[in-house]
Amino acid sequence: MSNVPADLRFLKSHEWARLEADGTITVGISDHAQQALGDLVFVETPEAGRRVAAGEACAVVESVKAASDVYSPVGGEVVAGNADLGGQPELINQDPYGAGWIMRIRPDDKSQFAALLDAKAYEAALAAETH
């Protein structure tokens, strides 16, 4: 069973989002997603300053099995990509909700964050997916 922290928001496509104190939103992929992908070998993070729309593919996670797009949960401007992933993509496997974060985005409209799935709804989506 994968770990779904109660304080995060999620997308059905398995990204998580956390609203930080400074109003930015940190994005990564869920524990379920990293388990499904297996050992990550490469992560392509977006450049700071890039404008992204909600639902736009803006990062790529590549494992020994597959390469998948990571979608932005909100529209806004990329504040930072996690540079540590360049040399250590395995951070996502080890700590998907912490050191394995992928990007930080300054949202144009905070209500988009509020509209994301909460932990309960994401767990329900996971349950529906596996049955």
Partner 1 sequence: MPFIPHTADDVREMLAAIGAPDIQALFDEIPAELRARALDAIPPALSEMEIGRLMSERAAADGQRLNFIGAGAYEHHVPAAVWAIVTRGEFYSAYTPYQAEASQGTLQLLYEFQSMMASLTGMAASNASLYDGATALAEACLMAVRAHRKSKSQRILVPAAVNPDYRAVLQAIAGGQQLAFELLPYDPRGGVTTPASLEKYRGEDITALVIQQPNFFGNLEDVDALTDWAHAAGMLVIAVVNPMSLAVLKPPGEWGAKGADIVCGEGQPLGVPLSSGGPYFGFMTTRMEHVRQMPGRIVGRTVDLDGKPGFTLTLQAREQHIRRSKATSNICTNQGLLVTAATIYMSLVGPQGLAKIASTCIQRTAELVAALGNVPGVRVAFNGPRFHEAVLLLDRPVRGVLEALAARGIVGGLDISGEYPSLGNALLVCATETRTPADIATYARALAEVMQSAAAA
Kindly list the residues in this chain that would bind partner 1 in the complex (CB under 8 A).
41-42, 44, 47, 62-67, 69
Q: Which is nearer to partner 1, 77 or 123 (CB)?
A: 77
Nearest approach in angstroms of CB 60 to partner 1 is: 8
3 state SS of 98: coil
**Contact criterion met (CB below 8 Å) for 100 and 22:** no
Q: How far is the CB of 32 from partner 1 (least distance, A)?
A: 20
Cβ distance to partner 1 smaller for residue 5 or 38: 38
- E runs forming strands in 50-100: 51-52, 57-63, 67-71, 76-81
Helical H runs in the chain? Answer: 31-37, 84-87, 91-94, 111-114, 119-130
> Residue 84 CB, nearest distance to partner 1 (Å)?
17
Closest to partner 1 by CB, 18 or 50: 50
